[in-house]
Homo-oligomer: A and B are copies of this chain.
Amino acid sequence: MARVKDDQKIELIYQATMGLVMKHGFTALKMADVAAEAGLATGTVYIYFKDKETLINQLYNYIREKSTGLYAEGIDEEDSFRKSLRRLWKQFFNFSMEHSAEAAFLEQYQRSPYLTGKSKKENNLLMQPFLELLSRGQQEKRLVKLEKEVILSLMIGPVHEMIRSQTNGSLKITPTVIDSTFELIWESVKR
């Protein structure tokens, strides 16, 4: 049998693509570069992905699915709401930092010609674990009375912003900073 079509190669291509998007943005993304970065010949990419559009869309799905699963791991129903929220938020923060390539890709994707109505909706799924936990918080009356979307923004927005600052070089994120930040956020959203 010949060399076997390889799932690992798909991963390779995904990583190469994300890396390039993070470094130079969507605009400069060339299929030849993706292939080179993945250590493959140009044509090989086309064995695994019909065309550039398909590659980008599949990568989007891949990241979305993987991300949601990963950052929301190990939520414990028994924990107090505050503890659960703190844990989820920190996981999200750490995940966003560690996976800045993915995050960069997701962000770029939002304003790209590749974004379709379908993927627009799917995007919301990413925040699903958060929204569910917020629902619980509101039931337990531990959360301020306000639209969940607003509360979500208060929690998620600073994360994005801080990571951007760190990328800029204008902020150094440490565990202590993360902890303090959560405490401040908690002050605003708790009831």
Contacts and interface: CB of A to CB of B under 8 A. Distances in A.
B25 A181 contact: no
Contact of A161 (B24, B146, B156): B156
Contacts of A164: 110
B171 A162 contact: no
A46 to B, nearest CB: 13
Interface string A79-104: 00000000000000000000000001
Interface bracket on A? 35 or more
Interface stretch (A8-16, A65-73, A182-190): A182-190
A158 interface: yes
B171 A147 contact: yes
B146 A184 contact: yes
Contacts of A38: none
A22 interface: yes
Interface string A142-158: 00101101101110111
A45 interface: no
Contacts of A189: 184
Given A154-B184, A157-B157, A149 B124 contact: no
Interface of A: 2, 21-22, 24-28, 41, 43, 104, 107-108, 110-113, 120, 123-124, 144, 146-147, 149-150, 152-154, 156-162, 164-165, 168, 170-171, 177, 180-181, 184-189
